[in-house]
Amino acid sequence: MILAAHQPNYLPWAGFFRKMARCDVFVLLDSVQYARRSYTARCLIKQSDGAKHWMSVPVRKKGRYYQKIAEVGIDSQDPWQHDHRRTLESNYAKAPYFDRQGELLELAYGRPWEGLCEMNISLIRHLAGTLGIVTRLVRLSELAIDSQSTELLVEICKKTGADNYLSGPSGGKYLDRGLFAKAGVNLEMLRYWPDPYPQLWGGFAPGLSIVDLLFNCGPQAARKELGSEQ
């Protein structure tokens, strides 16, 4: 059984879903420490001038430096939902499949959210369904594991019965291969970078949120790009 794990990011990039599509189980690391200025609370889109633009969810940070991702609250005093919706509309309204993602926009911006983690996981589940990904999603907080770094991932594999762990390429810099081998878990590195696809506003810009791929190419093309169709 193949397993991968990742923090529940905000409207993640295509590589997040590519890894999910390759797995039997995908663990959302909701009970690890929240990292400021990470993709957990922001994503990249493409502006009408062709430049990349950060969309950031404002979170409550004062006095909460060591909080877990599941504990991060959204700052409801900031009109971020209105701003994000308007940003997407102004930059993607002319995209061929923008109008078909109304359910996603309504889920993200049509109701109040208090917790960043709950919102992100809801969006991730919705996007996985749109992309036809049937991988089982599990929250780390459901597994009752109290470890860190490589030990945490090995324990997740043991707990779920996984014998293969799929990591992103950066995992080779910090993961202890010996711990995986000792536990009888094969460690595999997934190297993914999207092939250029049609985008608005000039040449291809890689590394954007999955919404860029969906708005420009539609779910069918996105499934093919991510390899989620069997």
Helices (H), the chain: 14-21, 80-92, 102-109, 116-130, 149-160, 177-182, 210-226
The model's pTM is 0.95
For 8-31, the DSSP string reads --SS-BHHHHHHHHT-SEEEE-TT
Q: For 93-138, how does the pLDDT look when each residue is reduced to its tens digit (9 = 90+)? A: 999 999 999 999 999 999 999 999 999 999 999 999 999 999 999 9
- C-alpha distance across the termini of the chain, in Å: 17
Q: What is the pLDDT of residues 154-203, one digit of tens each?
A: 999 999 999 999 998 878 778 999 999 999 999 999 988 888 999 999 99
Q: Which domain holds residue 73?
A: 2-226
Look up residue 226 and give its amino acid: L
C-beta separation of 115 from 70 below 8 A: yes
Q: How far is CA 34 from CA 55, 71, 164, 177, 217, in A?
A: 18, 9, 26, 25, 32
Q: Kindly report, residue by residue over 4-36, the tens digit of the pLDDT.
A: 999 999 999 999 999 999 999 999 999 999 998
As a dihedral over the C-alpha atoms of residue 153, residue 164, residue 123, residue 41, rounded to 10 degrees, the angle is 40
Q: Into how many domains does the chain fold?
A: 1
